[in-house]
Structure 1
Amino acid sequence: MAHPLEDTLIAKQITPTAMRLLVLDVLMKQPAALSLTDVEELLQHADRITVHRTLKTFTDKGLVHRIEDGSGAVKFALCEPSCTPEHHQDLHVHFFCTRCRETSCLPAVPVPAVALPGAYQVQETSLVMKGLCPRCAGDTSTPAPTMQ
């Protein structure tokens, strides 16, 4: 009997290995996008290179997308099921909380189309909004860090 995590990998033409299953499990259980360091810490004894290669494979196969939220660390989040290696469907807003430093995907909020002048050719689009997430907006006990 196949396991749902294995089915997810096989559907994206990724050979299931123990590490790939562990990384996918971690990504599925977290509500926010994770950096390489976050994944390593959650797996505790994982080899950094193996985790990095796993995340690269997942990105290349359309299972996760990369988010550059300005925090200095690339973060990874699960893609929509319609993502493919050739075309990621992750044109949604990402939100970076300046207090808890978590990055969330907001798939219901699409990135608006922007018309560029002349011969500009867009190859990638991303939109990261920064502020307080709902959890932190309700917590007034800790001041939000200032934006630089």
Structure 2
Amino acid sequence: MKKEIDNKLNLKNINPTAMRQLVLQVLTEQKTAISLPELEQKFEKADKATLYRTLKTFQEHQLIHSIEDGSGSLRYALCEDFCTCEPEHLHVHFLCNKCGKTYCMKDLPVPQPDLPNGFEFSSANFVVKGICSNCKK
């Protein structure tokens, strides 16, 4: 697994430090998007600023994307290997009203709006809210 983590970091031109390897390992294990406070709980002894800088580095190198899901906290999730975070790679996110988890709906692209002349689309935040399949059971 360590080799896979290092490969992912190297593919995105990110120096594989110990903290970056650990954070990427945690992100890889997540089934839902994770907030900085949730990540901090997994690294009780880690410096919060280091965790934040690690997430920012991952985001700048398009290894992860951030989600504003309306919960008041940014959440982070891994990008697909081919992702360049361009508008055509944007996807819908789902926020469960019951458990509060945010899911990437990678097979549901964000609709591209038909903007008036002179306007250029660069990003969108599309969040659907409801009850996830785990909570519905």
Query: Structures share a fold, TM > 0.5?
Result: yes
Q: Secondary structure at the match of 2:45?
A: coil
| Comparing 129-138 and 119-128, the one that deviates more | 119-128
Tell me the matched-pair count: 136
Q: Could you say what the CA RMSD is over the residues aligned between the two structures, in angstroms?
A: 1.6
Letter in 2 for 1:122: F
Structure (1 or 2) with the larger CA radius of gyration = 1
In structure 1, the partner of 2:62 is: 62
Letter in 2 for 1:31: K
- Runs of 4+ in structure 1 deviating by more than 4 angstroms, as ranges, are none
In structure 2, the partner of 1:125 is: 124
Residues 91 and 111, structure 1, Cα contact 8 Å, conserved in 2: yes
Q: Secondary structure at the match of 1:3?
A: helix
Residues 91 and 108, structure 2, Cα contact 8 Å, conserved in 1: yes
Residues 87 and 123, structure 2, Cα contact 8 Å, conserved in 1: no
Q: Which has the higher helix share?
A: 2
Instruction: Give, in whole Å, the separation in 2 of the partners of 1:60 and 1:47.
Output: 20
TM-score, normalised with respect to structure 1: 0.86
**Offset at 1:118?**
4.0
In structure 2, the partner of 1:32 is: 32
Letter in 1 for 2:22: L
Residues 62 and 87, structure 1, Cα contact 8 Å, conserved in 2: no
Residues 10 and 16, structure 2, Cα contact 8 Å, conserved in 1: yes
Matches within 5 A, 1:47-126: 47-84=47-84, 87=86, 90-126=89-125
Q: Secondary structure at the match of 2:46?
A: coil
Instruction: Give, in whole Å, the separation in 1 of the partners of 2:88 and 2:38.
Output: 24
Structure of higher RCO (CA pairs closer than 8 Å, 6+ residues apart): 2
In the alignment, structure 1 segments of 5+ residues that lack a partner are: 139-148
Q: Percent identity?
A: 44
Cα distance change of structure 1 residues 67 and 103 upon mapping to structure 2, 3 Å threshold? same
| Comparing 89-98 and 22-31, the one that deviates more | 89-98
Deviation by residue 1:85-110 (Cα, 9 ceiling, x = unmatched): x7476411100001100000010111
Instruction: Give, in whole Å, the separation in 2 of the partners of 1:69 and 1:126.
Output: 8
Residues 87 and 122, structure 2, Cα contact 8 Å, conserved in 1: no
| 1:135 is aligned to 2:128 | no
